[in-house]
Every structure is written in structure tokens, then in C-alpha cells.
Amino acid sequence: MTHLAILCVRNEAAFLLEWLAHHRAVGFDDFLVFSNDCDDGTVEMLDRLAEMGMLDHVPNNGPYDQGGIQFTALKAAAKLKQVKQADWIMPLDIDEFVNIHCGDHTLSALHDALPDATAIPLTWRLFGTSGQVRYEDVPVLDTFTRCAPKVIHWPWRAALFKTLYRNDGTYRKPGVHRPRDPDKTKLDAARWFDGSGRALGDDFKTKRIFSNYGIDNYALAQLNHYPLCALESYVLKADRGRAVHSDHLLGLDYFVERNFNTDEDTSIQSLAPARQAENMSLLADPTLRQLHENAVAWRKSRFNILLEQEPFRALFGRLLMAPPSQPIPPQAAQFLIRHANLAHQSGPK
């Protein structure tokens, strides 16, 4: 049984080896990676990894569909043999790490816990900055351990998920958060279960992209999401742009909705020995090690260049002033959700 992870990257070579090492340890055995507009050696690193048989690299240089860079890549992926031949598929981002809590913490253990599942949406658990200001070449999974609580009622983005799904023909195309283009004759047989093992309703089969609010969605598995990391890294992320909505600039609003540090979660360290062994094996290749070091140096140099420009200097200053985000009380969240539902029912204004 093969598991394919699909990844889109731009200027993220400094994080690539850790991400790959972890997901090899968790049980993915095939990787399809799209790159676009890279200046930090990401393309060269992916090409070297492809030479080593670790992944398949596809340049995604445009033109891009209206849905954005990532949408264009996933649309192209649907036509590739790697996707057609995979038993299970999961599109991921470089700041997302699959974290399985059952059995030996691998994908096999998750399947054993949910043998009837044909789709398992893994809900984000948002990890904040953990008070880190400057970027350092240290593992993300070891450094950023502060996060949102298990049960959070707002914002709705905290309940977004990415879907691990069986590639049995029910869905003909991978999507950013959920598989797309369903074969309606096969939907009745689809079985969706959340990260706590609960069976999900039919709306998840066709349209949902976020889990139910106000409950623990993580009993069996979660998706650790590190959208911020250190403040310095967030400035570089703003410079890089977004993969889905590339014309939407990242600012303080995005940061505030994700910088939760109230709880600590180190459960992903269950795979630390395996991940570290995979990472050391990759770094044993002299070419990969040099490319990684070059990428680290590029990030430090790029930050200094950005701080000479007012929009990025101003953003960094605002980040320094912004306190960690606090979950709002359930009653206030219900108030916001009620009005969001009313707005949805009445249509755009």
C-alpha cells in the first residue's frame, strides 16, 4: 500500500530536509514536489533528491490558473502517473506535519485504527512563535512546541483540515484541503472519519474544508501546522507570498489568527529518533548538506535586504509589538459563528 504526499514549495530549501525526513518516518513512501520561482536553491535541492530517488520534482513555472499557484500544480498532478498509481494521497504544505497518536505513530497504525475509512481529514493544530524572534537553523519540530488548545472555538481557520484519502476513483483530482471532482456513483460507499475516529456526514464528502468546532479532533491524529515559526521567518513568508491566493499579502491579520501559544504539545517527538535518523542520512550527502547550508545563508541575507524596505520593516516592528493570541471564550465564538452563518445564508453583500 503506497502513500503519496504532494507538496508545493517556493524558497523553502532550509526546511525541506526536515519535512521530508519526518514524513518518510511517518510512512509516506512517495513524494511529488512542485516548485516555482525559487531563489534559495530549492530547485537544485529537489533535483538532487530526485537523482537520489527520494522524490519526483516538477517545475511549476506558470502560467497559473485563476485558483492560484497551488491549484495549478494540483490540477497538473491529477494527470501524472505517480498520482494515478498511488493507493493513498495527501496534499501538504512545507509547514504541515502529520502527527499520529495511535499505535507506532505511523500511517499504518492510523489505518489499523480506522480500517473502514476511505478519507481521513486531519485537523490543523496551530503552533505559534514560541517566543522566537530570529530565524535559526534548528529543527522546527524541536523548537516550536507552543500551540492552540485542543478545543478552540474561533477562528474557523483553526479547524481547517487536509485530507488523507484512498485513491479508489471516488475522487478524480487532488485538492488543497480535500479531494475534488467526485464520481457521484461512488460517493455512497465513501467513508469519512475525523482525527478522533468519529464517522462524518455526507457534507464532508463533497464540500467541507474545516472540522466541527468546539470538540477534540485529535485523539487519533492531527496535522501540526507551523505557519509562523520565528518572527523573522514570517517576514520572509510575507515576501514569498501565498501559494493559494498569491495576490493576498500576508500581514498582521494572518499572524494574529495563528499565533497561539497557550498550550504545549510535544507529541510529534514520538517519531523523533526515526526522523533524526532520516535527516542525518540525507545530510550525509555532501551536495544536500551544502545546499542546505546555502539555503540557511540565503534566508539570513534575504531578511537583511527586506529590513531595508519600509513595508517589511514596518511588518517586523508590528510583529515585535503584537502579543500572543488568546483563544476567545466559547460564548463570544458562538456569537461570531452565528453571524457568519447568517451572512452565508443571505449571500454576499
The pLDDT of residue 233: 98
The pLDDT of residue 248: 62
> Would you say residue 41 lies in a domain?
no
Give the SS3 label for residue 12. Answer: coil
pLDDT digits (tens, 9 = 90+) for 206-243: 999 999 988 999 999 999 999 999 999 999 999 998 65
pLDDT digits (tens, 9 = 90+) for 64-81: 988 899 999 999 999 999
Query: Taking 80 as the threshold, does the pLDDT of residue 345 lie above it?
Result: no
The pTM for the full model equals 0.96
> Would you say residue 140 lies in a domain?
yes
> Would you say residue 7 lies in a domain?
no
Average pLDDT, the chain: 95
Phi-psi sector, 239: left (phi>0), alpha (psi -120 to 50), beta: alpha
> Would you say residue 80 lies in a domain?
no
d(CA 310, CA 38) in angstroms, rounded, equals: 23
> Would you say residue 326 lies in a domain?
yes
Find the mean pLDDT for residues 295-306. Answer: 98
**What total number of domains does the chain contain?**
1
> Would you say residue 195 lies in a domain?
yes
> Would you say residue 86 lies in a domain?
no
> Would you say residue 275 lies in a domain?
yes
Strands 171-173 and 56-59: unpaired
Which residues constitute the domain of residue 308?
A: 93-344
d(CA 212, CA 215) in angstroms, rounded, equals: 7
CB pairs under 8 A, 24+ apart, for 132-138? 132/229, 132/230, 132/231, 133/230, 133/231, 133/232, 133/320, 134/230, 134/231, 134/232, 135/229, 135/230, 135/232, 135/233, 135/236, 135/299, 135/300, 135/303, 136/230, 137/14, 137/296
pLDDT digits (tens, 9 = 90+) for 98-135: 999 999 999 999 999 999 999 999 999 999 999 999 99
Instruction: Show the cell assigned to 225.
Output: 501546522
Query: Taking 50 as the threshold, does the pLDDT of residue 349 lie above it?
Result: no
pLDDT band at 39 (very low <50, low <70, confident <90, very high): very high
